[in-house]
Structure 1
Amino acid sequence: MASKAAAVLLLVYLSGSTFGIKLTGNGYTDILIAINPEVPEDPVLITQIKEMFKEASRHLLNATKKHLYFKEVAILVPPNWNKGNYPKAKTEVYDKANIIIDEPNKLHGDQPYTLQYGECGSEGRYIHLTPDFMLNDDVSKYYGPRGKVFVHEWAHLRWGVFDEYNEEKPFYLSGSIIEATRCTINITGKYIHKHDQRDCTTDPVTGLYTEDCVFYPDKQQTTSASIMYNQGLSVKEFCTKETHNTEAPNIQNRLCGNRGVEEVITSLSVDAGVAVVPTPPSILPTFTVVQCRQRVVCLVLDVSGSMAGSRMLNLRQAATLFIQKIVEDQAYVGIVQFTATATIREPLTLIDGEASRDKLAGSLPLSAGGGTDICAGVKKGLEVLGGDGDGAMGDAIILLTDGESSINCQKSVNESGATVHTITLGPNANIDVKQLSDISGGKYHNAADGVDSNDLVDIFTSHTTSDGNLTKYLNIICLFFQQLESTGLNMIGWFNGSVSIDRTIGNKTSFLVIYERSPPDILVLSPFTRTYDTSHFKHDASAKTLTLDIEGTAETGKWKYSLLNKESTAQSMSMTVTSRAVSDAIPPVMVKTHMSQQFSNGSKPMLVYAEVNQKGVPVILADVMATLKSDSGDQYEIQLLDNGAGADAFRNDGIYSSYFTELTTGKYSLKVKVHNNDGMARFSLRRHSGALYIPGYVVNGQVVMNPPKPPISEDDLQADVGSFTRTVIGESFSVSLPPGVPPPNFPPNKITDLNAEIEEDKVLLTWTAPGEDMDQGTATAYEIRFSEDSDLLRSNFSTAHLVTYDLSPKKAGSPEKLSFTLFSIIKNGTTLFFAAKAEDKSFLKSETSNIIQVTKIVPKAPVPSPTDAPDTSGSGVNITAIVISVTTVTMVACLIASVTMCSIKSRRVNHRMFL
């Protein structure tokens, strides 16, 4: 456990996935469903949304034993829908939607799914539904009733539970019985060959049904669970602690420690411990339909005495970039400055060309002096927003301050309906201003001093707006703005770097250089060796910036840049490169990042997430690095991985993750840089957290088959984008440890990818090494145990049979291998279960790993034909196979094992046990 100061930051580039959802009594309120601009206008879609929620409310009430239902839902229609008279949205924006209705993407098609980042019990980001699923019964029927499908996805989104089916492992052995992966075990049906409906055959090597076999459940079931297995059946509930199938090799068991869905809801989820109140007479939700309009924003800027000098310069540089490059055409922008009083520097101004941008940039404050009254500035900003005659509702304030004045304008902000985004500058700014963001749904960022940090530029760059369409309707408010590079240094001599322009971007590409005292010499070299020097840059001496705008579409490939500080002493300089989508037809590669918590008291580690995708399709094999910086100056570089181990729940799903464990009191910022310099990035085929495509049912004893699930073409998943670079930031985050309490010490992370296979006569266990503190550093020891009892490993791990505990762990993230040679004879059908724990130098142990099942299968000898000569060369069969399936059970065995482990130094340590 490192003891150095640090903490964490949170972004929500897509503002918190379940942002705003509240549980009022038994009813969920502030649910936001947003429609993408690519969806054609259709009032029937709104009707179908309402009907789905009404149906879902009834199903949710039944599934939660009359406890929970849907109470209030807002529907956000896109700005290009013009046939209805929709009221103006308040704080509802596409980026905060809990449910998105959008055209199908290549990976999921019309399958309803939920974007989940990982941890069991943690809220998801959003539910994705398609117009065809909502409008076409011939599409939705393959998933089940829309209301029940929605409850399945809601469980992913709200409670952080996972699917109880497994398309990759549809069968497993329970003792000597082949079972379908499902919950509960009482789900009945038939095992049928999918091509000709004959009975399934068993693979003699695995002991399981062959891959052409499908389990077709009875549509009418006598058991009541579970919706998380197959939402199309007559089941009405979730699996309970008593009914949950702990043996099934599904994601729910792997990530939730074999807990049933109801157990997770009541003990781990955001709704754990919520008091139950009597259900009202009506459980039908109420609906509000609103529409987003053009952006209206007011910059409210602190110019008190403490802002003098470099802070005022930083303010002008960042605000100028926002006005000149970030805010979209047809938006309205105003400017307010405040000290002890507030002044309007520019009323709302329509952005309709370079002249309007230049006028606004020229109105930014130049000097600082006086006291600080933050709320005076906020109230004046609300006054400016009301200058369009439409009030401040749905508009936004970007508030920048370094001051410590009291905050007493929460009521005014709340009543206005405006969103306040707050930026605190320096270590002494009053973090209480974050309250204004919290109550209005805005973002909060903390910026460090100094040009070389580039924090303010990064923050203002992040204040883009989107209605969900990344490439079209640019003349409205649907802008895609991607920051490619943001780097700063305090240096003498040359400052060199490069940035990749990929095939998805290139329009309105800009290179912005910020300097501290005197302008540097600049060289920019395009991929096809076109050279741009200082003479090509537009110089703003008052803001100390130089800007190069690339005409047309920028060349694809690596752009190199060099800055020369001509002074004899070091000065701060930075380079920021920005670009927009290349065309309407090519969605850009997007990166979003956030932390698992916005506030930490040190009681549990934090997780850093970055999502890399192109139109919802995961982009894998990228290099992702997070930089976390505290307001005291400590900085931490953390590599984020998509390896399905440690903090990362799913391998190759485009979600890159890591733990952040070095928590000390303070405010933190988060920046993530993504590189794919070798052009080897790919799209991923992996899907999870979606409604099951139902292969068919058994109705009155007859199998009724559905068409096969639409396949995914490998050709469609080739990421032909070239090398790319992205930089994004997240919202600032704070850590507050109890006074006098040392920084927390965390155990190694839970092993979640324990796996097994047979190599000749050996069973090989593999997993990814955990760390000393979660997935950081190197653990001290492993404890690996086995049993034949499926519940023993989970409930009483230390009493199971010990395999070994003195193996030398490798560095976190490294592959581990452990092999067993079986000397004694295990009879046909013997099933063993293995699990592991890791230990650190403080003797803290991880949670028990996922549990792996190993069954010995001795294939039957083929029956000789009458013409075959009898085999007298031996008695019996000497071919053995081990069937492996991940599960959550336990184990016992009588065997003599030789254990081999590859240590860090590649030495082999042998252990022989007599059990």
Structure 2
Amino acid sequence: MDPRVVLWLWMLLSSTCSGIKLEGNGHTDILVAISSAVPQDNRIIDKIKVLKADNKDALGDEIIFLTDGEATDNINDCAPTAIQSGAIIHTLALGPSAAKELQEMADKTDGKFIIATDDITSNLLVDAFASLTIPTGDYTKEPVQLESTGERTADWFNGTVSVDSTVGNKTSFLIIYELIAPTAYIQTPSGSNYSKADMSGDPSAKTLTLKIPGTAESGDWKYSILSGRLQSMTITVTSQAARSDVPPIIVKTHVNQQLISGSKPVIVFAEVSQNYRPVINAEVKATLEPEKGTMKQLELLDNGAGADAFKNDGIYSRYFTKLEKGRISLKVRVKNKDGQSRFTLHRKSGALYVPGYVVDDKVELNPPKPPVPEQPLVEGNFSRTATGESFQVTITNAPIYPPNKITDLNAEIQKNMVLLIWTAPGEDLDQGPAKSYEIRWSDDIEMLRLNFSNSSLVNTSAVSPKEAGSVERHSFNMTIENGTTLFFALRSEDNDDAISEISNIAQASKILPAPNPPGISNPGLNLTVIIISVCVAVIVVCLIVAVTAWAVKRRKRVDA
């Protein structure tokens, strides 16, 4: 018998904490045990025994383990047995006092580790449960989070969320408030309004919920929430696929490592796709919130430079360098930037394009690199939010990183001018501007690769590095013989004198048409002269024939 996929919630909370409703988040068979008043609520082993009852083991079953660290229970007493049970354990750390063993428990059982701060406006606890929905393999039946944001105000809290044509079923607006129920209005794209009277309220949970009947109208929905007094409020919008045959646009996010020791850079990833088709040209912003400290925002890019491996593959990424010791949560927001988002028909392969090759000391050029076909994003405006697994930084001081390696250097030769184009690196990896560039060239690729510092140097004194991610262009003149192939590479330096790795090697060839044969100064003009001459000759011949025929006829009449 296959393992029964069951999602359990087990909460080790202080007695002052209240319960949390999970209705509508796609969870099934949920057991909630709250506070020390519940018998043996600190015995995760007993819960695993219940999971084992269906098929004699807990292998493949899933547990959500939430604690704020304020209870007297000792996680170490149950962690070893829980890890060995075979269950997948997702751990949620609510507040800075939660035990450090939570991350180990999640790591060793292939679960997720997520932190939620005490700041209500971050909405991290709601986001955490939304991200832990059991996957069914059918995205048309799974909830999609369209918006999750918050604000602390005594005035209006306004915003817009886009409902695209791929979603709309089971759409709900959840408002959570800190003190008193606010006045709330939700406006549809066509101008109809929902008010507080249309919402269901739960004073004990401090929530207002609006469930849209049927399929929600596509377009921009506007919300206006009047607080009435200074308090924190959040709004969460979820929906499901509008049609069973059209999967929605989805977002997945993660970092490349969960325990940050500073030995290698941290990279934040977000994958945007629909039915495995990459979505490109979207606006993707990551929010990284430490338990203590300042929230950081990072724009993720899909430009094939810096942390991003391939351009326009729907995977957006960026280095994260502003590390602070402690645990850090991750959330991304995705929007259709100025209506520019597109589908690509397939992901690019990892094979590099080779512009040409040399045969018998002659350069043979390959056909131009074919473009990746794109399709318009017919869904129009869309918005998505996704929560990734949290990670922990163990170092006190962030490392000093050099500029990132330039990977997209391109070279062209136009007569006796060389044009180089690349994406600007940063001061620290792909953050900020670098200080300077060092560009070198050679007619021997091995020389440039193995002995970069001894290759010919290009004067870059007039080049001022731009902000990371910008397009850099530099041209210079040099005498180049026809048929010559040259190779170029560069590296950058930051204000701490840290030097980047050497870039990819770009090659360019000067191939001009062969000179005209002697005596032919203008082949096109000579061809025209020949054509005209032939035409004149034909006309003359025709004229002679006509005159001769006329003369013969006239003589015959005279003789007669």
TM-score (norm 1): 0.53
2:453 partner SS: helix
Q: Deviations over 1:836-865 (max 9, x none)?
A: 11100011011000011122223224679x
1:791 partner SS: helix
Counterpart Cα distance in 1 of 2:457 and 2:441: 7
Instruction: Give yes or no for contact 2:136–2:142 (8 Å, CA) kept in 1.
Output: no
- 1:516 equivalent among 175, 178, 191: 178
Instruction: Give yes or no for contact 1:336–1:380 (8 Å, CA) kept in 2.
Output: no
The residue aligned with 2:501 is: 847
- 1:833 equivalent among 487, 496, 499: 487
The yes-or-no answer on 1:800 pairing with 2:469 is no
The yes-or-no answer on 1:556 pairing with 2:218 is yes
- 1:526 equivalent among 188, 209, 215: 188
- 1:461 equivalent among 130, 140, 145: 130
The residue aligned with 2:393 is: 735
Alpha-carbon shift at residue 587 of structure 1 (Å): 1.3
The residue aligned with 1:856 is: 510
Q: 1:589 to 1:688 in 2, by over 3 A?
A: same
Alpha-carbon shift at residue 830 of structure 1 (Å): 1.9
Give runs of aligned pairs for residues 170-209 of structure 1, distance below 5 A. Answer: none
The residue aligned with 1:484 is: 146
1:792 partner SS: helix
Alpha-carbon shift at residue 678 of structure 1 (Å): 3.5
Instruction: Give yes or no for contact 2:43–2:78 (8 Å, CA) kept in 1.
Output: no
- 1:503 equivalent among 160, 165, 174: 165
Alpha-carbon shift at residue 395 of structure 1 (Å): 1.5
Instruction: Give yes or no for contact 1:336–1:343 (8 Å, CA) kept in 2.
Output: no
Counterpart Cα distance in 1 of 2:172 and 2:51: 30
The residue aligned with 1:777 is: 432
Instruction: Give yes or no for contact 1:510–1:577 (8 Å, CA) kept in 2.
Output: yes
Give runs of aligned pairs for residues 392-541 of structure 1, distance below 5 A. Answer: 392-403=58-69, 405-471=74-140, 479-541=141-203
Counterpart Cα distance in 2 of 1:673 and 1:771: 24
- 1:574 equivalent among 234, 237, 241: 234
Q: Deviations over 1:170-195 (max 9, x none)?
A: xxxxxxxxxxxxxxxxxxxxxxxxxx
Alpha-carbon shift at residue 503 of structure 1 (Å): 0.8
Instruction: Give yes or no for contact 2:255–2:266 (8 Å, CA) kept in 1.
Output: yes
2:92 partner SS: strand
Instruction: Point out 4+ residue stretches in structure 1 off by more than 6 angstroms.
Output: none
The yes-or-no answer on 1:327 pairing with 2:26 is yes
1:332 partner SS: coil
- 2:2 equivalent among 80, 83, 88: 88
The yes-or-no answer on 1:337 pairing with 2:34 is yes
Instruction: Give yes or no for contact 1:462–1:729 (8 Å, CA) kept in 2.
Output: yes
Between the two proteins, the alignment pairs up a number of residues equal to 502
Q: Deviations over 1:768-788 (max 9, x none)?
A: 111100110111000001112
Counterpart Cα distance in 2 of 1:872 and 1:612: 59
Alpha-carbon shift at residue 542 of structure 1 (Å): 0.8
Q: 1:771 to 1:712 in 2, by over 3 A?
A: closer
Give runs of aligned pairs for residues 35-54 of structure 1, distance below 5 A. Answer: none
Alpha-carbon shift at residue 499 of structure 1 (Å): 0.2
The AA in structure 2 aligned to 1:482 is: V
Instruction: Give yes or no for contact 2:143–2:239 (8 Å, CA) kept in 1.
Output: yes
Counterpart Cα distance in 2 of 1:463 and 1:515: 23
Counterpart Cα distance in 2 of 1:713 and 1:801: 35
Q: 1:520 to 1:387 in 2, by over 3 A?
A: farther
The residue aligned with 1:601 is: 261
Instruction: Give yes or no for contact 1:647–1:775 (8 Å, CA) kept in 2.
Output: yes
Q: Deviations over 1:81-120 (max 9, x none)?
A: xxxxxx414xxxxxxxxxxxxxxxxxxxxxxxxxxxxxxx
Alpha-carbon shift at residue 428 of structure 1 (Å): 1.8
The residue aligned with 2:548 is: none
Could you list the runs of 5+ residues in structure 1 that have no partner in the other structure? 1-86, 90-292, 345-375, 472-478, 693-710, 865-869, 875-915
Instruction: Give yes or no for contact 2:26–2:143 (8 Å, CA) kept in 1.
Output: no
The AA in structure 2 aligned to 1:551 is: P
Instruction: Give yes or no for contact 1:300–1:377 (8 Å, CA) kept in 2.
Output: no
The AA in structure 1 aligned to 2:43 is: G
Alpha-carbon shift at residue 873 of structure 1 (Å): 7.5
Which has more radius of gyration?
Answer: 2
Q: 1:422 to 1:395 in 2, by over 3 A?
A: same
Give runs of aligned pairs for residues 296-335 of structure 1, distance below 5 A. Answer: 296-305=6-15, 308=16, 312-313=17-18, 316=19, 319-320=20-21, 322=22, 324-328=23-27, 331-335=28-32
- 1:747 equivalent among 402, 418, 421: 402
Alpha-carbon shift at residue 340 of structure 1 (Å): 9.1
Alpha-carbon RMSD: 2.4
Could you list the runs of 5+ residues in structure 2 that have no partner in the other structure? 353-369, 524-560
1:575 partner SS: strand
Counterpart Cα distance in 2 of 1:712 and 1:794: 29
2:103 partner SS: helix
The yes-or-no answer on 1:547 pairing with 2:201 is no
Counterpart Cα distance in 1 of 2:304 and 2:474: 19
Counterpart Cα distance in 1 of 2:504 and 2:337: 35
Instruction: Give yes or no for contact 2:306–2:430 (8 Å, CA) kept in 1.
Output: yes
Counterpart Cα distance in 2 of 1:597 and 1:389: 34
- 1:683 equivalent among 326, 343, 351: 343
The AA in structure 1 aligned to 2:262 is: G
The residue aligned with 1:904 is: none
The residue aligned with 1:815 is: 471
TM-score (norm 2): 0.85
Q: 1:801 to 1:469 in 2, by over 3 A?
A: same
- 1:586 equivalent among 246, 251, 255: 246
Counterpart Cα distance in 1 of 2:24 and 2:38: 30
Instruction: Give yes or no for contact 1:342–1:377 (8 Å, CA) kept in 2.
Output: no
Counterpart Cα distance in 1 of 2:304 and 2:55: 53
Alpha-carbon shift at residue 387 of structure 1 (Å): 5.0
Instruction: Give yes or no for contact 1:337–1:377 (8 Å, CA) kept in 2.
Output: no
Counterpart Cα distance in 2 of 1:873 and 1:551: 77
The residue aligned with 1:630 is: 290
Identical aligned residues as a percent: 48
